[in-house]
Amino acid sequence: MSDLDTLAGGAAAGTLYGIGVGPGDVRYLTLRAAGLVRAVDVLAYVAKAGAPGNARRIVAPLVAPGRDERRFEYPVTDEVPADSADYQQQIASFYRDMAAALADLLRGGRSVGLLAEGDPFFYGSFMHMWRRLATDFPVEVVPGVTGMSGCWTRANLPITWGNDTLAVLPGTLPETALVERLRLTDAAVIMKVGRNLAKVRRAVEAAGLLSRAIYVERGTMQDERILPLADCAAADGPYFAMVLIAGEGRRL
């Protein structure tokens, strides 16, 4: 029987690791992810200005004092709408500078672990580094438990049965598009609910699914909140909110 640390393995020089840290509970890191968090020369992560960084907070129990860490802070964009050309340009410039800083470390032979919430290739900002660096440096991506898996687990809600179809939809979609997609699926996960909560609720109701919809805020984190969407009167929620609608496929 192998020791967990032995199974997890080490980090190679000059390699970029995209480390999926899962939905929020440190126990939901994979063995490989936990091993790399401890093994890489440099631990890198992105955070909002003034915040600890969600991915960094998740792995805190695995990080010894004095580790070499690089914190990359998103440009403050409160005054700029997220879909404006100005914002897009600021964030692209931020990612360009970040990629250059990581490339410097990798060229110097350091192994760099970039933390990614959930799964790195599923809506992950890691992807913006991957597309800039993967042609020039060795990269290993470590898949993670997605935020949505964490949420349906904590909501005690098996999400898809038998031959159910599942639609993953951003709450940013126009209301009519949300209704159309919801009508054509058995199960659904609506992500990025945040400021779109009132619209999402109207769309779910219009699709005839309100009685089955569950609202989950910060799933698997300490301050998680789970309730029927029908009981959720607020007009908006936090960024880490999603709505889950389980399929009703074959029960055997």
Token pair belonging to 118: 């959930």
CB 12 within 8 Å of CB 37: no
Q: What does the alpha-carbon distance between residue 241 and residue 77 come to, in Å, rounded to a whole number?
A: 21
Closest among 72, 69, 129, 124 to 99, alpha carbons compared: 129
CB 66 within 8 Å of CB 42: no
Binding test (CB under 8 A) with a second copy, winner from 47, 62, 206, 230: 62
Provide Rg for the chain, Cα atoms.
20
Under the binding rule (CB under 8 A), the answer on residue 163 touching a second copy is yes
Q: How far is the CB of 47 from a second copy (least distance, A)?
A: 17
Under the binding rule (CB under 8 A), the answer on residue 138 touching a second copy is no
Binding test (CB under 8 A) with a second copy, winner from 39, 80, 103, 168: 168
CB 39 within 8 Å of CB 11: yes
Q: How far is the CB of 171 from a second copy (least distance, A)?
A: 9
Interaction with a second copy in 9-48: which residues (CB under 8 A)?
9, 20, 22-23, 25-32, 34-35, 38
Under the binding rule (CB under 8 A), the answer on residue 167 touching a second copy is yes
Q: What does the alpha-carbon distance between residue 63 and residue 45 come to, in Å, rounded to a whole number?
A: 13
Interaction with a second copy in 199-228: which residues (CB under 8 A)?
none
Count CB neighbours of 22 within 10 A.
Answer: 28
Binding test (CB under 8 A) with a second copy, winner from 17, 72, 123, 215: 123
Binding test (CB under 8 A) with a second copy, winner from 5, 97, 136, 248: 5
Binding test (CB under 8 A) with a second copy, winner from 101, 157, 198, 210: 157
Token pair belonging to 62: 């695995």
Binding test (CB under 8 A) with a second copy, winner from 52, 61, 228, 238: 61
CB 114 within 8 Å of CB 17: yes
Q: What does the alpha-carbon distance between residue 138 and residue 118 come to, in Å, rounded to a whole number?
A: 22
Interaction with a second copy in 171-190: which residues (CB under 8 A)?
172-173, 180-181, 184-185
Under the binding rule (CB under 8 A), the answer on residue 141 touching a second copy is yes
In the complex with a second copy, which residue's Cβ is closer, 35 or 237? Answer: 35
Q: How far is the CB of 100 from a second copy (least distance, A)?
A: 15
